[in-house]
Amino acid sequence: MHRLSPLPVPPPGDPGAVESPAVRLFRDRASRATGGTPVGNDRPAGNAALEQVVEVCRSLDGLPLALELAAAWLPAVGLAGLRERLDQRLDIGPSRSSDDDRHRTLRRTIAWSYDLLTPDEQRLFRYLCVVHDRFEVELAEHMAAASDVGDHPSAVVARLVDCSMLVADSAAARPAVRVLESVRAYGLERLEAHGEGAAAGQALCTWVLHLVERAAVGITGPDEPAWDRRLVWTLPTLRAARRVMLAGGDVAGAARLSALLGDFALWREHSELWAWALETAELPGLDDTPDAVPALAAAASGAWRLGLRSKAKALVARVRRLAADDDDLTAGELVHGVLELFDGRFDDAERAVLTARGGAAQTAEAVATAALSAGYSGRRAEAMRRLDTAEQLAASGSPTQHAYVAYVRGEVLALDASPEATAHLRRSVDLARLSGASFVEQVAGLTLATSAARAGDVEGAVESYRAAVDHWRRTGSWTQQWTTLRNVAALLAGEGLTEQALTLVVAADAAPDASALAPGAAAAQARLVDQPRTDVVEGALAALDQLYPGGPSDG
User: What is d(CA 520, CA 525) in angstroms, rounded to the nearest whole number?
Assistant: 9
Residue 38 burial (CB count, 10 A): 11
CB 67 within 8 A of CB 57: yes
Q: What is the pLDDT of residue 552?
A: 40
User: What is d(CA 141, CA 377) in angstroms, rounded to the nearest whole number?
Assistant: 55
* Full strand arrangement of the beta sheet holding 167-168: 135-136, 176-178, 167-168
Instruction: Give the orientation angle of helix 74-89 with respect to helix 48-59, to 10 degrees.
Output: 60
pTM: 0.80
Question: Which of 368, 370, 378 has the alpha carbon at shortest distance from 351?
Answer: 370
Amino acid (one-letter) located at 80: A
Question: If DSSP states are collapsed to H, E and C, what string results for 13-65?
Answer: CCCCHHHCHHHHHHHHHHHHHCCCCCCCCCCCCCCHHHHHHHHHHHHCCCCHH
Question: Which of 417, 364, 427 has the alpha carbon at shortest distance from 390?
Answer: 364
Q: What is the pLDDT of residue 161?
A: 87
User: What is d(CA 135, CA 133) in angstroms, rounded to the nearest whole number?
Assistant: 7
CB 454 within 8 A of CB 494: no
Are β-strands 167-168 and 135-136 bridged in parallel, bridged antiparallel, or unpaired?
Answer: unpaired
H or E stretch covering 136: strand 135-136
User: What is d(CA 159, CA 231) in angstroms, rounded to the nearest whole number?
Assistant: 28
DSSP 3: P
Each residue's pLDDT tens digit in the chain (555 positions)?
344 456 787 877 777 788 888 888 888 888 888 777 777 655 544 477 888 888 888 877 777 778 888 888 888 778 888 877 776 654 433 444 455 666 677 788 888 889 889 999 999 999 999 998 889 999 999 999 999 887 788 889 888 988 878 888 776 777 888 888 778 888 999 999 999 999 999 999 999 999 999 999 999 999 999 999 999 999 999 999 999 999 999 999 999 999 999 999 999 999 899 999 999 999 999 999 999 999 999 999 999 988 888 999 999 999 989 987 766 777 788 889 999 998 889 999 999 998 876 777 888 999 999 999 999 999 999 999 999 999 999 988 899 999 999 999 999 999 999 999 999 999 999 999 999 999 999 999 999 998 988 888 888 899 999 999 999 989 888 888 888 988 888 888 888 887 788 888 878 877 777 777 666 565 556 666 555 555 655 655 565 455 444 444 454
Amino acid (one-letter) located at 432: A
Phi-psi label, residue 114: left if phi above 0, alpha if psi -120 to 50, beta otherwise: alpha
Q: How far apart are the first and last CA of the chain?
A: 36
DSSP 287: G
The β-bridge partners of 176 are: 136
Q: Alpha helices of 90-223 — where are they, by DSSP H?
A: 99-115, 119-128, 137-146, 153-162, 181-193, 197-218
Q: What is the pLDDT of residue 5?
A: 58
Question: Which of 253, 264, 271, 263 has the alpha carbon at shortest distance from 231?
Answer: 264
User: What is d(CA 261, CA 399) in angstroms, rounded to the nearest whole number?
Assistant: 17
User: What is d(CA 114, CA 112) in angstroms, rounded to the nearest whole number?
Assistant: 5
Q: What is the pLDDT of residue 248?
A: 95
Q: What is the pLDDT of residue 509?
A: 79
DSSP 552: S
DSSP 168: E
